[in-house]
Amino acid sequence: MAATTQATDSLQFQDSQGTPTAYRLFITPEFMTWRSDVQIQNWRLLLGNSFIDQLDGFALADKLSERYGEAHFYVIDPYNSAECWYVAREGHRVRSFGTHDQPQFRGEPLSFEVEYREDADEDEADEYAEGVPYTLTAADSLSVEPGPMPASGTHGHGWLATTHPDVPNSRLKGALPL
């Protein structure tokens, strides 16, 4: 985690195309989680700072969903008081929410959102009228709430990676804490 959130997480370099930037990211071990439809779902999480902005996390989710059927993208940005969640299936957005997007919701409400709307009391009715505006709630309903995971729910190991094959991790500066 320190490699993608505390250490220098990018490097500009020369290649045949010019001067691109490579970013360091962490790919978590594989998680086995229970979803609301009682299926075991295996998934991984990519963690990194700037690379998602540079590579467009929405396009990345679309591309991953082409290969794996479904992909999600979540952002919680405390600096801009912004939240975003995005679900793509078969290469296309199915549903999304963004605090500063216009419109904030796109696509038809997902089943977990309909449940929140139906279960809302008088005070929550307006809050859930269009859908679920909270990234952690969406993530918890669609896969698992981001945060610490018990080792018993994982198998395999994580990897440090970069966004360009010509830039190995050893080229990024800074010693990583143990």
Provide the CA 116 distance to its chain's centre, in angstroms: 22
- Pairwise CA distance, residues 94 & 92, whole Å: 6
Sign of CA dihedral 75, 10, 166, 44: negative
Local confidence band at 96 (pLDDT 50, 70, 90 cut-offs): very high
Question: Quick one: tokens of 160?
Answer: 């440090």
Query: In terms of pLDDT, which residue wins out, 95 or 81?
Result: 95
CA nearest to 114, candidates 128, 102, 95: 128
Q: Inform me whether the pLDDT recorded for 31 exceeds 60.
A: yes
Local confidence band at 68 (pLDDT 50, 70, 90 cut-offs): confident
Q: DSSP code of 29?
A: P
Provide the CA 31 distance to its chain's centre, in angstroms: 14
- Pairwise CA distance, residues 13 & 112, whole Å: 45
pTM over 0.85: no
Query: In terms of pLDDT, which residue wins out, 34 or 67?
Result: 67
Highest mean pLDDT among 21-25, 41-45, 74-78, 133-137: 133-137
Question: What percent of the chain is modeled with pLDDT above 90?
Answer: 25
Helix (H) or strand (E) holding 111: helix 111-119
Residue 48: what pLDDT?
61
Question: Quick one: tokens of 162?
Answer: 């970069």
Q: What is the pLDDT of residues 106-120, one digit of tens each?
A: 999 999 999 999 998
Cβ pair 43, 64 in contact under 8 A: no
